[in-house]
Amino acid sequence: MLIDYQYGPVTVYKAARTLFKKPLYYTHFYSLGDLLIDCGPSQIGGEVLPVVKKKAFQKLAVTHEHEDHCGNCSLIKEELKIPVYAHPETLSYMANPPSIQLYRHLMWGAQPPVEGKPAPQNIRAGEFSVKVIHTPGHSTGHISFFEPENRFLFCGDLYLGEKLNGFMDGENIADHLQSLEKVIALQPAVIFCGLKGKLEDATNRLKRKRETWWELSCQAIEMHEKGYSRNEILQKFFSGEVYFFYLSERNWGRGYMLDSILENIDFFKK
């Protein structure tokens, strides 16, 4: 399933694999001028290609390496003959993608390898220009794109919601929080999120997310310092581990967020 609609100068693409005509999980990608930002999962590449071929895109920029964001990079690069820009760490992953868990194959599909170029500091997007902001946390090479005239922030998987309390294996909460600070300072008006789509009142949303995570982290650290175990803290503040932890072959779970909090105690105390 691929739905597209216009929000001012931005085209919003809302994509999902369907099962019995029901969407499994929405992911969003966007375009501004001749710039395509992320490109959706390979499972729906057959729907994405004809839609993007109708527009004269000159470049594709990718927020990070997860297959729901960059699964069609190889296809689009080949068909449209345009460069693919990303952070150098994302590029090395995309050139040689590691194997992924079964649920990721089913939901989004694997990403074919693709060679890209390091994203410059600014990327032209038709009559607009976007600043490239390094926003690690969700992944080390995660970048966001800020359009200052409209104060649009294309932020991949940096936001995802205000009360999210789980991580993929490898996410880092200290990096996440510093990235949130960085984008809050830009005072964006609209977030273009990989999961939730277009969201107004952006700065306040980002601030609330930062505050929720700070509060949760400080409570978890306080309990840890009183001698409670990892499992006791997980039960108290995260309602225990989710079944999806096992379904995802231990790729996503609440324990990863707690572990990252406890590994970054110094960050929260400085």
Residues that bind Zn ion (CB under 5 A): 66, 157
Q: For residues 33 and 156, which CB has a smaller minimum distance to Zn ion in the complex? A: 156
Q: For residues 188 and 194, which CB has a smaller minimum distance to Zn ion in the complex? A: 194
Smallest gap, in angstroms, from Cβ of residue 63 to Zn ion?
Answer: 8
Smallest gap, in angstroms, from Cβ of residue 138 to Zn ion?
Answer: 5
Q: For residues 11 and 63, which CB has a smaller minimum distance to Zn ion in the complex? A: 63
Smallest gap, in angstroms, from Cβ of residue 78 to Zn ion?
Answer: 23
Q: How is 81-93 classified by DSSP, letter by letter?
A: ---EEE-HHHHHH
Q: What are phi and psi of 179, to 5 degrees?
A: -65, -40
Nearest to 65 by CA among 46, 91, 34, 29: 91
Q: Is the dihedral of CA 93, 86, 121, 190 positive or negative?
A: negative
Q: For residues 219 and 251, which CB has a smaller minimum distance to Zn ion in the complex? A: 251
Smallest gap, in angstroms, from Cβ of residue 52 to Zn ion?
Answer: 20
By beta-carbon distance, which residue lies closest to Zn ion?
66
The CA distances from residue 52 to 31, 41, 134, 224, in Å, are 9, 14, 26, 50
Q: For residues 89 and 157, which CB has a smaller minimum distance to Zn ion in the complex? A: 157
Q: For residues 157 and 175, which CB has a smaller minimum distance to Zn ion in the complex? A: 157
Backbone dihedral region for residue 201 (phi beyond 0: left; psi -120 to 50: alpha; all else: beta): left
Smallest gap, in angstroms, from Cβ of residue 185 to Zn ion?
Answer: 23
Smallest gap, in angstroms, from Cβ of residue 121 to Zn ion?
Answer: 23
| Torsion angle in degrees (nearest 10) through CA of 98, 103, 105, 108 | -110
